Amino acid sequence: MRLKDVFVELLKNKGIDRIGTSISKIIKSDDPIQKMAVYLTCKKASVCCAKKKLKYSFDLNGNTVIAPPQVYFGKCGGNVILTAEELLSNAKKVGFPYILIDCSFYDLHSKKEKKSLLIQIRETLNVVRRFMWDERLIVTLNCGIGVYYPSTPEFIKKKRVKKVVLLDPNAGKEFDEKKAECYIIGGIVDKSGNKRGLTSKIGEMLEKEGINFESRKILLKGDITGVPDRLNTIAEIVLRVVLDGENVDTAIKKVQKPIIARKRLAKELPKIATRVDVGKAFRVVCKSDFEKFDWLNLRKEDFYKVCSQINHIVVSDNVMDEIRRCRWDEKRERYVLNLN
């Protein structure tokens, strides 16, 4: 469930199934109903009687319909039908989680890394707005994005948050569909390779403050390779799982960029490749092997590119059948082809 689902339910209860607006950012949005819900929680607009004569409106699925709206979304002088307080009151009953970005190690970052970190925090806010609203993003860096708290323990103690998950790639347990009240992401950008293990140190700091939490790592079929590591993509994976009900692998694939998928493919292909010897050893894979990796966000050109990079030859299934009819060298674990 997303914030828009709560918004839609409240509108339906008031007998409303069409809503209009003249706010251009909402009209151009891919998800106008969610955008309206976020605007309402931030008190940027209200739902009121439809005084403006509009030819078009949105149904509650976000589709444009040629019909005048029953209510208007925008700046209202009066006759407010749905307030931010009412929406927030109902939303909090659902139990939307907090996404907390812990920036305890901000000062260890280079200027370039700090810039990247701020970009990722802003992108995380955009992700949070697609599922929830601004107040659900907590940042322990006073950068004007999300809600600022000086430290993670201070936020957890003040809000009396009980179920806390620290997303740590070095955790002993795997992240699953189990829900928590707060998910902590380390505000760490490591372009120099000298910040490994810092997320675990956030856990150590929480322990010293007496904070109860679980450490979990996001895995893709048992491996961290192929899991996007940007803050915004980590947040989206979590929210897709806990709010949309997707499994972890599906959520990863939806946010995974091809470059990340190719890294995982490069690790997987040698496991299924056939070793061949014609005086010189090489590895062969089938064209149809591409279909075995439908759990990665890959295009066929990505498959061929990786094969080329790791020096694997791609052959047809018919050619592979011919190779497997050749002599098998059990000791060296390869097929030996006689080309004479």
d(CA 225, CA 260): 8
Residue 167 pLDDT class (50, 70, 90 cuts): very high
Q: Tell whether the model's pLDDT for residue 278 goes beyond 90.
A: no
Q: Tell whether the model's pLDDT for residue 298 goes beyond 70.
A: yes
Residues 129 and 74 in one domain: no
Mapping DSSP onto H, E and C, the string for 297-309 reads CCCHHHHHHHHHH
Residues 116 and 87 in one domain: no
Residues 101 and 243 in one domain: yes
Identify the domain boundary among 57, 75, 92. Answer: 92
In the block, residue with structure tokens 């199934």 = 17
Residues 149 and 247 in one domain: yes
Identify the domain boundary among 92, 113, 137. Answer: 92
Q: How many domains does the chain divide into?
A: 3
Residues 226 and 106 in one domain: yes
Which tokens belong to 156?
Answer: 């957890």
Q: What is the mean pLDDT of the chain?
A: 94
As a whole number, mean pLDDT of residues 127-143 equals: 97
Q: Are strands 334-336 and 327-329 parallel, antiparallel or unpaired?
A: antiparallel
H-only helix segments in 56-197:
84-94, 111-131, 152-159
Range(s) of the domain holding residue 127: 95-256
Residues 109 and 229 in one domain: yes
Residue 332 pLDDT class (50, 70, 90 cuts): confident
User: How is residue 223 annotated by DSSP?
Assistant: B
Which tokens belong to 329?
Answer: 């060298």
pLDDT tens digits, 80-97: 999 999 999 999 999 999
Which tokens belong to 158?
Answer: 């003040």
In the block, residue with structure tokens 């927030």 = 88
Q: Which residues are CB-neighbours of 44 under 8 A, at least 6 positions away?
A: none
Q: What pTM did the predictor assign? A: 0.92
Residues 40 and 109 in one domain: no
Residues 63 and 102 in one domain: no
Residues 19 and 153 in one domain: no
Identify the domain boundary among 256, 277, 296. Answer: 256
Partners of residue 174 on adjacent β-strands: 217
Helix (H/G/I), strand (E/B), else coil: 52: coil
pLDDT tens digits, 25-60: 999 999 999 999 999 999 999 999 876 688 899 999
Partners of residue 74 on adjacent β-strands: 46
- For the four alpha carbons of 221, 226, 232 and 236, in that order, the dihedral sign comes to negative
CB 282 within 8 A of CB 313: yes
CB 41 within 8 A of CB 88: yes
Residues 265 and 330 in one domain: yes
Residues 99 and 87 in one domain: no
CATH of the domain at 234: 3.40.1280.30
